[in-house]
């Protein structure tokens, strides 16, 4: 790999997925021995639950906060400093954290590069770093991470290793709507989530019985999905259905709304309290109704 930013940009312009070789991380945690050991130990484990939906009023993402075999509670949904988009990822802990970190760094690096070049020579570039460039950055970062892990000897199961959500605004006939995309490490090809559809990363088979009550409803709102998704995460945690792989600990689920034509908003503080009012009580009500019968859901 090279530290020459000019060379890395020429790769970017040519469409080569070597785009981000400009900044290889010197991270001992990616040593071959440690990587292979983590794969052997956690090969078939899904590490999260992230729920995304395209609703009548915009896009919503809901994520749990737990990391398996760790006491840490983390933010799994992120937004770049310079673009009104959000992205998230789930899979093996080491892989999704690598992706979230790499994507944040790559977006910021490319944005800053475009800014500096425009200052030097305003006629040198056709456009700023925009949403189409962001989509390409998402794909290129995932492709490069896959190449890195393949070089360590892993050649199968990429769809389970990492899945990614990201959003993009799209303007048509003067109206701006938010598009939600999902892709996995196997194909590295984004698929758009259609109106009224719900997609999930991680333990989706556990959340599906709850989320199915909303899917394909034309009147499904971001608030509806956020409340049911939060209910699912909390219920799974309380029942211990994933052995502490999914949950929020002493926090609440991380929730983002992107209303059509507006910027992303992380729901916090009094807004979050109002949004989730009564959810904990409903979790306990359903637990009491099901009793031990929910054990059939255990993974």
pLDDT tens-digit map of 214-273: 988 889 999 999 999 999 999 999 998 887 889 999 999 999 999 998 999 999 999 999
The total of structural domains in the chain comes to: 1
Tell whether 297 is covered by a domain: no
Question: Which residues, other chains included, contact 135 with Cβ-Cβ below 8 Å and sequence gap of 6+?
Answer: 166, 168, 181, 190
Tell me the three state secondary structure of residue 280.
Answer: helix
Range of the domain at 42: 5-23+31-291
Interatomic CA distance for residues 235 and 279, integer angstroms: 10
Q: What percent of the chain has pLDDT over 70?
A: 75
Q: What is the CATH number of the domain that holds 42?
A: 3.60.20.10
- Taking the alpha carbons of 264, 268, 270, 273 in that order, is the dihedral positive or negative? positive
pLDDT of residue 262: 92
Q: Mean of the pLDDT values across residues 35-43?
A: 46
Query: What pLDDT sits at residue 82?
Result: 76
- Sheet of 77-78, strand order: 77-78, 87-91, 162-172, 175-184, 191-192
pLDDT at 166 over 50: yes
The answer to whether residue 299 sits within a structural domain is: no
For residues 127 and 119, which has the higher predicted lDDT (pLDDT)?
119
Report residue 185's pLDDT band, with 50, 70 and 90 as the boundaries.
confident
The average pLDDT across 18-23 equals 35
Mean per-residue pLDDT, 85-106: 85
Q: What is the pTM of this model?
A: 0.79
Using the predicted structure, report yes or no on whether residue 169 has a pLDDT greater than 70: yes
Rounded average pLDDT over 96-110: 87
Residue 136 has pLDDT above 60, yes or no: yes
Residue 296 lies in a domain: no
**Separation between Cα atoms, residue 191 and residue 201, nearest integer Å:** 13
Residues 285-290, mean pLDDT to the nearest whole number: 85
CA-based nearest residue to 94, from 14, 140, 28: 28
What does the mean pLDDT of the chain come to?
80
* 247 assigned to some structural domain: yes
Is 50 exceeded by the pLDDT of residue 38? no
187-215 pLDDT, tens digit each:
889 999 999 999 999 898 999 999 998 98
Residue 159 forms part of a structural domain: yes
Are 76 and 93 in contact by the 8 Å Cβ rule? The answer is: no
Q: How confident is the model at residue 157 (pLDDT cuts 50, 70, 90)?
A: low
What does the pLDDT read at residue 44? 45
Task: Kindly state whether residue 47 falls inside one of the protein's structural domains.
Answer: yes
Residue 152 has a pLDDT of 65
- Alpha-carbon distance of 249 to 253, in angstroms, equals 9
Query: Taking 60 as the threshold, does the pLDDT of residue 42 lie above it?
Result: no
Higher pLDDT, 51 or 9: 51
Q: What average pLDDT does range 37-57 have in this prediction?
A: 71
**Geometric angle at alpha carbon 74, from 68 and 76, rounded to 5°:** 95
């Amino acid at each position: 790999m090279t530290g020459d930013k000019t060379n890395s940009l020429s790769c970017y312009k040519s469409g080569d997925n070597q785009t981000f070789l400009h900044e290889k991380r010197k991270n001992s945690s990616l040593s071959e021995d440690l990587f292979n050991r983590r794969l052997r130990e956690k090969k078939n484990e899904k590490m999260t639950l992230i729920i995304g939906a395209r609703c009548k009023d915009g896009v919503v993402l809901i994520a749990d906060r737990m990391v398996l075999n760790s006491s840490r509670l983390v933010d799994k949904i992120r937004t770049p400093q310079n673009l009104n988009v959000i992205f998230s990822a789930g899979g093996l802990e080491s892989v999704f954290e690598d992706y979230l970190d790499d994507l944040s760094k790559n977006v910021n690096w490319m944005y800053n590069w475009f800014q500096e070049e425009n200052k030097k020579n305003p006629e040198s570039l056709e456009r700023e770093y925009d949403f189409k460039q962001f989509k390409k950055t998402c794909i290129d970062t995932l492709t490069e991470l896959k190449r890195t892990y393949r070089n360590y000897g892993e050649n199968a199961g990429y769809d389970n290793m990492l899945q990614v959500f990201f959003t993009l605004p799209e303007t048509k006939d003067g109206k701006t709507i938010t598009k939600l995309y999902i892709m996995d490490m196997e194909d590295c090809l984004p698929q758009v989530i259609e109106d009224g559809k719900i997609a999930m990363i991680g333990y989706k088979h556990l959340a599906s019985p709850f989320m199915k009550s909303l899917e394909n409803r034309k009147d499904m709102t971001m608030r509806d999905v956020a409340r049911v998704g939060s209910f699912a995460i909390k219920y799974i945690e309380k029942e211990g259905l994933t052995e502490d792989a999914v949950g929020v600990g002493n926090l609440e689920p991380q929730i983002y709304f992107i209303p059509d034509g507006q910027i992303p908003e992380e729901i916090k503080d009094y807004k979050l309290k109002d949004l989730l009012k009564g959810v904990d009580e409903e979790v306990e009500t359903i637990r009491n109704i099901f009793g031990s019968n929910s054990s059939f859901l255990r993974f």
